Amino acid sequence: MINLLKKRLTIASSLLCVAFTFLFVDGSAMGGNQTKLAAVNLRTEYKHNPIGLGMANPRLSWEMQDSERGSMQQAYQIRCAATAAELKNKADLLWNTDWVESDQSNQLAYAGQKLASGERVYWQVRIRNNRGKESAWSEPVFFELGLLSHADWKAQWIEPKLDEDVSKSTPSPYLRRTFQAPKPISKATAFVTCHGLYELSMNGSKVSDDLFTPGWTSYQERLQYQAYDVTGLLAKGENAIGVVLGDGWYRGFLVWQGNKNTYGENVALLFQLQIEYADGTSEMICSDENWKAGTGPILKSDIYNGETYDARLEQTGWNTAGFDDREWNGVETKDYGYDNLVASDGVPVQVIQRIQPIEKIITPKGELVFDFGQNLVGWVHFKLKGNKGDKVVLNHAEVLDQEGNFYTANLRVAKAEDEYIFKGDGVESYAPRFTFHGFRYVKISDYPGEVTVDDLEACVVHSAMTETGDFVCSDTLVNRLQKNIQWGLRGNFLDVPTDCPQRDERLGWTGDAQVFAPTACFNVDAASFYTKWMQDFPVDQKENGSVPWVVPNVVKDGGGTGWSDGFGATAWADASVIIPWTVYRAYGDTGILERQYASMKGWEEYMIRESGDNYVFSAGFHFGDWLAFAEYYSYYYNAPDYGYAGANTDKELIATAYFYHTTGLMQKTAEILGKKEDAARYAAILPKIKEAFNREFVTETGRLTSGTQTAYVLALCFKLLPENLVPVVAKRLADDVNHFGHLTTGFVGTPLLCQALSDYGYPDVAYKLLFNKRYPSWLYPVTKGATTIWERWDCIKPDGSFQDVGMNSFNHYAYGAVGNWLYQTVAGLQEDPAVAGYKKFVVKPVPTEQLQFAKANYQSIYGEIRSGWERKEDAFVQTVEVPANTSAKIYLLANDATSVSENGKPISNRKDIAIAGRDGDYLVVEVGSGTYSFQIQNSN
C-alpha cells in the first residue's frame, strides 16, 4: 500500500512538473523552484521500497536536489541498518560507506554485510556538493530481499481436484485454507505464484492491486513469484487465505489458431506465508494437502474471449475464516519443483486510470453502444441493477464502421465478451479480472434495464510504470499524435511489450518492441519492464543463437505460416541487442548489458556464422520493411507513377544493414564490459560488413539496389556509406520523399526516417512528412479520429472502408517510434553520445517556421530535464533545465554570443555559462545544473 501511495505521488509530482513546464515556457516562473541541497527520490533497483528482490546486492540510486547553478555531487555517504530505529541511532549498521568522494548517484550496488533471504534493509544517504556544502541525511527508505535460494521454498505445488474439460474455458478454481495464529504477529510476508493467474486475498481482503500475477514469462524456465507484506491483513486467532485461479497465458487461448493449454492443462498454486510473531518465534503456512478447492461465480475467464460471471454462484465469505467449506473438494500436491522460480523484476500491472463514457449511442442497427472517447486497454466496470437471473453482455470494439455500427471483425476470433448474470441484490458492481480488452466502444446487450453513462467506467490497465516525459508544441494535431503514441504505449505494455491488445494475438513481437523502445524510454520509466522481459530472450533463443519472432515464444514452427520456423528475422531478432543497449543508454544501466551479454552475443555470432565469408546476411526468413507503403498508391493518388510496385526494400540489404548496426553495438557493449577480445573481434568485422554492404547494395555513384526511403535511411543512420556518398544518398532520400510527397516506409524505415532527413541536411523535408495529413502519414490517422497509433498507415482507408480484417489493429505502437524524434530533434532533448544515462546531455533543437514553440520534459534518473524553444515577438527563446549532478551542451540558434542574453544578462564572461564555439548554425554553450532561459536576437 505504501508502495502504491509512493507511486501515485510520483505520478502526481510528474504531472505537477508538466504543469510547471507551461509556466516555464511562458517565462512567468523563470528561475525554477528554490530547493535546498538534498538527496531525494531514493530507489532500489528503480523501485520505491521494493520487497521480494531477487538479488543480494541490489543497486541504490538517488537524485541530487540543489537549486544552485552548476551543482555537482562531490561525495556521498550511505548507511544501512536492519531497522529504521537502528539507522536513526547509527547502531549495528549493516553498511556504512563513510564519505566517498564520487559523483555517482545512480545504481550503486549494496556492498555491506551479506544479506539473507527475506532480510529487510533500511538505508539513507547524504551528499556533499562541489561547493563543500553537506546535505542532511535523506529520509530513510528500505528494500527487502525475496527468497534467494530454491531451498527457501517449503510450500508444495497444489492443484484443485475438479472435474474440468480443459479443451475449453472452464470455471475458475477457488482455493482456501484457514489457520490459527496463536500470538500477536509482528510481520507476515506471502510468497506466491501459480500456473495460470491468481488473485490472492486474506480474511476477505485482496492483498494488493496487482493484476495478471504472476505475469507472463517463458514459464518453462522462468516463473515469477511475488512477495507481499500482509502483516496488516492478519491478526492473532483464526485467519483465512483465499486464492482464485485464472487460465491466463498458461492454459487460456493464445496465439492465433484457437491454440490453448500452451504451457499445461492444469492450473496450480504455490503459496508460502512466513509469519514472525511479536515474541520472536516464527511459523510458515504453505500450500499443501490441507487446502480446499471449489468453484464460484467465474464460469469462464480467458484473455482473448472475456469473462462470464454468474453472481448467483458467489459464495459469500469464501475467503474468510468462518466459511463452511465442508462441501468443497480437496487438492492434489504436485512435484513441479522450484527450479524455474524467479523473483519479479518487472512492474506490476494495475488499474491506472478510470474514464467515463463521453456518449451513449444507438447505432443504425439499433445497438446500444457507449463511447469512451479513447481507444484503451482494460475493461468496463459497471454498477447496474437486475433481477436474479437477468444478464448483461458487454462486447468491445475499437471502432464503429462506416455506417456507425459496432465493428469487431478486426478482433478475428477474440470474442472480447464479458457476460454477467445478476444475483438480484440491489446495485451490483462488476469488473472482470483475468481478461483484458482493447476498445473504445462497448456494446451492451441482453440487459432488460436502462443503462446511462453514469453506470459505466472504463478501467485503464497496464504495467504501472512512472510517466517520465511529455512533448508539446503549437500544433494541435502533432500534440494529438504524441498523445496517441502515449496511449499506444499504455495499451501495449501489459507485463510484456505486445504488438496489439485486442485481437487473438497480443504477443511479445520483438521487432515492434525494438523500434519503439527509445520512444518508450522517454515517455515512461521502462527500465524494470524491459529488464524483466529481456531475461526471457536467452530462455527462448535457439542453441545456435537465433532469436524468436516473439518472446515469450509461443509461436511454434512459425505459427503454421509455412514461411519459417519463427526465428532469426532481421530487425526482430536484433531486439536481443538493441533493447539492452537502449536501456543502458537511457538509464546508464550496465547491469542489463552484463545480464544479457550471452544472449546478445548469441545472436551476433549467429549472424556472423550465417553470413559467412561475404558478410552479407541473407540466411533465413525476414519480414523486411513490414507493412511498407505498397499496393494502394495508384488507387488513392491518381499517381504519376501508375503501376508503382511498392516500396519493397531488398530484405538482404536490410539484414546486412542491421548486421552492421548490431555488430557496432556489440563492439561498444564488449568494451563497456571489459571484454577486450570480443570488442576487438567485432571491431575487425565491422569494416568487412560495411565493405560487403557497399559492394552488394550501393553503386559507385550512390544508388542503392533498392531505391526506397527505407534503404536510404538505413544506409545513412547506420553509417554504412563512404563519406563522399553520404550527401548523395541523403539527397536521393529527400528527392524520393519530395517525388512521392509522402513517406513510403514500414516498420523498419519509419522510426529513423525523420531522423535521417534532419541529421543529413533536410529538416524541412522531415517536417513536411510530420505535417502531412494525407495518407500515408502520421497525421492521417489523427484526421480520421485516431486516439492511438495504427498497425497500418491505412487501417481506415481514405474512402472510409477498413483494411483487411486479417491484420488491422488500431492500437499498434510501431509507427509511434517517431516519438523519439519529437523529443530529440523537434524539442532538442538528446543523450550525449559519449555518456549514458543523461549524466551529460545535449540540447539541440531543430525548429521549423511551422511551429511557434515546442518543448519536452523528461524525468531522467538524475531529475527533471527540460528543453523548449519559442518564437516571441522580440526574440527566439530557448529554455533548458539541467538537473543537479549533470551538465549539458546546449546548441543555441544564434549567430554569435552578443546576440544572446540569459535571464536578462549577456552570456559572455560568465562563470555559469561556457561558450564552446560554433557548430553549423549553432552557437554551442556548456552549462552545469540550473534553469536557463536564453533570449536570442536575430536567430538563425
The footprint of ligand RAM (CB under 6 A) covers 499, 505, 509, 511-512, 623, 626, 791, 807, 812
Residue 814: CB minimum distance to ligand RAM, A: 6
197-202, strands of its sheet edge to edge: 205-206, 197-202, 237-246, 173-181, 292-295
Cα separation, 829 vs 845, in Å, equals: 7
Residue 642 identity (one-letter amino acid): Y
Beta-bridged to residue 353, according to DSSP, are 460
Shortest Cβ contact with ligand RAM: which residue? Answer: 499
Q: How far is the CB of 812 from ligand RAM (least distance, A)?
A: 6
The three three-digit cell numbers of residue 694, written as one number: 557497399
Closer of 199 and 499 to ligand RAM (Cβ): 499
Beta-bridge partner residues of 394: 418, 444
Distance CA(817)–CA(377), nearest Å, equals 20
Please identify which of the residues 417, 610, 791, 881 carries the catalytic annotation. 791
Amino acid letter at 564?
A: S
* Residue closer to ligand RAM, measured from CB, 500 or 711: 500
Q: Which is nearer to ligand RAM, 492 or 541 (CB)?
A: 492
Q: How far is the CB of 563 from ligand RAM (least distance, A)?
A: 10
CB neighbour list of residue 316: distance below 8 Å, 6 or more residues apart: none
Kindly tell me which of 650 and 791 has the beta carbon lying closer to ligand RAM: 791
The amino acid at 97: T
Determine the Cα–Cα distance for residues 648 and 769; give it in Å rounded to an integer: 19
Q: How far is the CB of 623 from ligand RAM (least distance, A)?
A: 5
Quick check: 712 and 729 in contact, CB under 8 A? yes
Judged by CB, which is closer to ligand RAM: 198, or 572?
572
The CB-of-740 to ligand RAM minimum distance in angstroms stands at: 23
Helix (H, G, I), strand (E, B) or coil at 34: coil
Minimum CB–partner distance for residue 498 and ligand RAM (Å): 9
| Residue at grid coordinates 498497425 | 791
Strand partners, 499: none
Stretch (H or E) spanning 521: helix 510-523
- Helices (DSSP H) in 763-849: which residue ranges? 763-771, 779-783, 819-821
For 821, other C-beta atoms within 10 Å of its C-beta total 25
Residue 678 or 794 with smaller CB distance to ligand RAM: 794
Shorter beta-carbon distance to ligand RAM: residue 30 or 807: 807
Classified as helix, coil or strand, 199 is: strand
On the 0-12 / 13-18 / 19+ scale of CB atoms within 10 A, 1 is exposed
Q: How far are the Cα atoms of 407, 810, 815 from residue 399, in angstroms, in the given order?
A: 6, 8, 19
Residue 204 grid coordinates: 476477505
Let me know: does 876 contact 893? Beta carbons within 8 Å: yes
In angstroms, give the least distance from the CB of 658 to ligand RAM: 15
CB of 500 to ligand RAM, least distance (A): 7
Q: In angstroms, what is the minimal distance from the CB of 510 to ligand RAM?
A: 8
Using the 8-state DSSP alphabet, how is residue 846 labeled? -
Beta bridge partners of 841: 831, 888
CB 848 within 8 A of CB 822: no
Instruction: Give residue 155's identity as a one-letter amino acid code.
Output: A
Total residue count of the chain as it appears in this document: 940
Instruction: Compare residues 219 and 815 and give the one whose CB is closer to ligand RAM.
Output: 815
Contact between residue 652 and residue 616 where contact means Cβ atoms under 8 Å apart: yes
Distances (CA, A) of 885 to 90, 325, 743: 27, 60, 41
| DSSP-assigned letter for residue 824 | I
> SS3 for 200-220, per residue?
EEECCEECCCCECCCCCCCCC
Quick one: angle between helices 476-492 and 510-523, nearest 10? 120
Which cell goes with 331? 487438492
Catalytic residue among 199, 505, 652, 831: 505
For residues 176 and 651, which CB has a smaller minimum distance to ligand RAM in the complex? Answer: 651
Residue closer to ligand RAM, measured from CB, 552 or 868: 552
Give whichever of 287 and 514 is closer to ligand RAM, judged by the CB atom.
Answer: 514
Query: Among residues 372 and 747, whose Cβ is nearest to ligand RAM?
Result: 747
H or E element, residue 188: strand 185-195
Side chain identity at residue 327, one-letter code: E
Residue 831 appears among annotated catalytic residues: no
| Residue 533 Rama label (left phi>0; alpha psi -120 to 50; beta) | alpha
Residue 169 CB, nearest distance to ligand RAM (Å)?
24
Q: In the complex, what is the shortest distance from the CB of residue 779 to ligand RAM, in angstroms, rounded to a whole number? A: 21
Active-site annotation holds for 457: no
CB nearer ligand RAM, residue 557 or residue 926: 557
H/E stretch holding 599 reads helix 590-611
CB neighbour list of residue 804: distance below 8 Å, 6 or more residues apart: none
Q: Is 338 helix (H, G, I), strand (E, B) or coil?
A: coil
Three-state DSSP class for 808? coil
Q: How far is the CB of 509 from ligand RAM (least distance, A)?
A: 4
Q: Torsions phi, psi of 168, nearest 5?
A: -135, 180
> Which 3 state secondary structure label does DSSP give 561?
coil
Which grid coordinates belong to 776? Answer: 500515408
Please give the full DSSP string across 10-57, using - where no structure is assigned: HHHHHHHHHHHHHHHHHTTTTT-----SEEEEEEETTBSS--SBS-SS
Cα torsion at 1, 55, 671, 103 (round to 10°)? 60
Residues identified as active-site: 505, 791
